[in-house]
């Protein structure tokens, strides 16, 4: 009769039922107040007061249950348990109402009996919108609320009461099918909502993956030239605003074309991946960005770093490549693959461009190659405020 709900829908259904809780409280209190006033002088006061206390306790329990549900983490495996808790509390409320209705009907005249039936019928109508997103919960409330008064009236010796009992049953059946229609509509709407949410989430994940793919070098899995350009521009702007030093390190693998000729391009790709992994790991430890900007060319951007830090990192990177111990029989420097590094460190002035830093780093890299490769050379431009600065190099050779 009631198709099982998906766990993610159960949580949403419970949220909707608690959203309607304030309306349910209000309508129940209003109906109870009307019946209390109507029967105050007809039934023992203790019965009305006792009902009010019992129902007040159940309202407090439902409220506390709602507070705990909203505070609990949303886990699919817990959804059915929360639905069971809510259904149990709602069922007890229905039992209280059903027993109260039968009790009042025993003392009621024709007018008062009609009011009792109308009050219970109004609660049943409200349950359609409040609970029917889960038919078990709806039935847990509607059945104990209306069935007792219906049975009581049908078993009455008075034909008028029996007719009212049949009307009660007819109303229950009518509300049941109305609840099913409302449930179908509500769940379809929730289903569309989840589909849209999932679609948006999938699109966001796809966009994130595409962005990652567009910023990662497909061969070495480090940042590519596009990512380097974006990060370099952002780092330069930040250094200008803050008056902070910025270091740029350029790296070229020594005699890599000879390596490809000797060992083949596939082995050359393996070599590049190994080197890129070492550069990326060392750079990340210091919060720097390593990128592949050409065939065998790499660059590292290091924020908030002066020349000492830049040269220290470059030397660490050079040593890391050397320690890989990748054989290179055609190298004119070593029997293993090595790298040459050029470092430019400066506090950029407002008018400094990225091209200037790249050119200075490239000049330092050229000097490292001219001086024998497998070494670090630095352009020591420390300050450029107002376009002025001191330059030592290229030619400050390390190693």
Helix axes 21-39, 76-105, angle to 10 degrees: 10
More reliable by pLDDT, 202 or 355: 355
Q: CB 160: neighbour CB atoms within 10 A?
A: 11
Q: How far lies 177's CA from each of 1, 20, 34, 174, 394, in Å?
A: 11, 20, 28, 6, 87
CA angle at 174 for the pair 108 and 16, rounded to the nearest 5°? 95
Q: Using one digit for the tens of pLDDT, what is the confidence trace for 212-221? A: 667 888 899 9
Q: Indicate if 100 and 14 belong to the same structural domain.
A: yes
For residue 247, what is the DSSP state?
Answer: E
Question: In 3-state terms, what secondary structure has residue 253?
Answer: strand
Residue 334 domain boundaries: 225-398
| Confidence grade of residue 82 (pLDDT, cut at 50, 70, 90) | confident
Q: Indicate if 252 and 197 belong to the same structural domain.
A: no
The answer to whether residue 210 is domain-embedded is no
Q: Indicate if 239 and 191 belong to the same structural domain.
A: no
Over residues 361-376, the mean pLDDT reads 94
pLDDT for the residue 131: 79
Query: Left, alpha or beta for 387 (phi > 0: left; psi -120 to 50: alpha)?
Result: left
Q: Indicate if 50 and 197 belong to the same structural domain.
A: yes
Q: Indicate if 160 and 237 belong to the same structural domain.
A: no
Over residues 113-124, the mean pLDDT reads 90
Q: Indicate if 181 and 247 belong to the same structural domain.
A: no
The answer to whether residue 70 is domain-embedded is yes
Q: What is the CATH number of the domain that holds 265?
A: 3.30.70.270
CA angle at 132 for the pair 126 and 133, rounded to the nearest 5°? 130
Q: Work out the mean pLDDT of the chain and round it to a whole number.
A: 84
Q: Indicate if 259 and 124 belong to the same structural domain.
A: no
pLDDT for the residue 361: 94
| Confidence grade of residue 192 (pLDDT, cut at 50, 70, 90) | low
The answer to whether residue 14 is domain-embedded is yes
Beta bridge partners of 289: 301
Q: Indicate if 314 and 178 belong to the same structural domain.
A: no
Q: Using one digit for the tens of pLDDT, what is the confidence trace for 135-171? A: 888 899 999 999 999 999 999 988 889 999 999 999 8
The answer to whether residue 76 is domain-embedded is yes
Q: Indicate if 270 and 164 belong to the same structural domain.
A: no
Q: Is the pLDDT of residue 209 over 90?
A: no
The answer to whether residue 313 is domain-embedded is yes
Q: Using one digit for the tens of pLDDT, what is the confidence trace for 228-249? A: 999 999 999 999 999 999 999 9
The answer to whether residue 211 is domain-embedded is no
Cβ atoms of 126 and 23 within 8 Å: the answer is yes
Q: Indicate if 366 and 234 belong to the same structural domain.
A: yes
**How would you write 337-382 as a 3-class SS string?**
CCEEEEEEEEECCCCCCHHHHHHHHHHHHHHHHHCCCCCEEEECCC
**Pairwise CA distance, residues 94 & 88, whole Å:** 10
Query: Side by side, which strands form the sheet with 339-346?
Result: 289-292, 297-303, 246-253, 339-346, 376-379, 396-398
Cis amide leading into 174 (omega within 30)? no
**Pairwise CA distance, residues 100 & 314, whole Å:** 84
For residue 217, what is the DSSP state?
Answer: -
**Pairwise CA distance, residues 364 & 366, whole Å:** 5
More reliable by pLDDT, 194 or 315: 315
**Token pair for 329:** 């029989």
pLDDT for the residue 385: 35
**Token pair for 159:** 């034909």
The answer to whether residue 219 is domain-embedded is no
Answering whether pTM is above 0.85, one says: no
In the residue annotation, 296 being an active-site residue is answered as yes
Name the most confidently modeled range: 16-25, 208-217, 299-308: 299-308
Q: Indicate if 244 and 299 belong to the same structural domain.
A: yes
pLDDT for the residue 181: 83
The answer to whether residue 214 is domain-embedded is no
pLDDT for the residue 107: 92
| Confidence grade of residue 264 (pLDDT, cut at 50, 70, 90) | very high
| Phi, then psi, of 339 in degrees rounded to 5 | -140, 150
Catalytic hit among 15, 233, 296, 297: 296
Cβ atoms of 89 and 61 within 8 Å: the answer is yes
How many domains are contained in the chain?
2
Q: Indicate if 178 and 262 belong to the same structural domain.
A: no
Of 167, 201, 235, at which residue does a domain stop? 201
List all residues 6 or more positions away from 171 whose beta carbon is below 8 Å from its beta carbon.
121, 124, 146
């Amino acid at each position: 009769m009631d198709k099982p709900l998906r766990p993610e829908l159960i949580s949403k259904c419970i949220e909707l039922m608690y959203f309607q809780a304030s309306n349910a409280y209000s309508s129940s209190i209003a109906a109870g107040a009307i019946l209390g006033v109507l029967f105050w002088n007809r039934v023992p006061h203790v019965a009305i007061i006792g009902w009010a206390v019992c129902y007040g306790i159940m309202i407090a329990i439902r409220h506390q249950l709602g507070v705990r549900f909203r505070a609990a983490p949303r886990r699919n495996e817990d959804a059915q348990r929360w639905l069971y808790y809510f259904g149990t509390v709602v069922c007890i409320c229905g039992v209280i109402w059903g027993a109260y209705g039968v009790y009042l009907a025993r003392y009621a005249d024709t007018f008062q009996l009609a009011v009792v039936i109308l009050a219970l019928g109004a609660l049943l109508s409200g349950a359609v919108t409040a609970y029917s997103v889960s038919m078990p919960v709806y039935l847990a409330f509607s059945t104990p609320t209306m069935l007792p008064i219906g049975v009581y009236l049908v078993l009455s010796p008075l034909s008028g009461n029996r007719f009212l009992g049949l009307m009660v049953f007819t109303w229950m059946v009518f509300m049941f099918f109305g609840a099913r229609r409302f449930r179908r509509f509500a769940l379809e709407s929730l289903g569309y909502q989840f589909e849209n949410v999932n679609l948006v989430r999938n699109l966001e994940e796809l966009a994130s993956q595409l962005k990652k793919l567009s910023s990662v070098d497909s061969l070495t899995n480090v940042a590519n030239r596009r990512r380097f350009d974006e990060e370099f521009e952002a780092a330069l702007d930040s250094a200008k605003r803050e008056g902070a030093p910025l270091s740029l390190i350029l790296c070229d693998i020594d005699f890599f074309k000879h390596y490809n000729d000797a060992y083949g391009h596939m082995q050359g790709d393996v070599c590049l991946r190994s080197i890129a992994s070492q550069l990326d790991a060392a750079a990340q430890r210091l919060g720097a960005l390593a990128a592949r900007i050409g065939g065998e060319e790499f660059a590292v951007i290091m924020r908030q770093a002066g020349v000492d830090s830049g040269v220290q990192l470059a030397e660490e990177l050079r040593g890391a490549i050397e320690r890989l111990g990748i054989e290179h029989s055609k190298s004119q420097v070593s029997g293993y693959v090595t790298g040459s590094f050029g470092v430019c460190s400066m506090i950029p002035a407002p008018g400094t461009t990225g091209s200037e830093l790249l050119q200075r780093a490239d000049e330092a890299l050229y000097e490292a190659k001219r001086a024998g490769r497998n070494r670090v050379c630095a352009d020591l431009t420390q300050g450029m405020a107002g376009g002025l600065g001191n330059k030592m190099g290229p030619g400050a050779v390390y190693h």
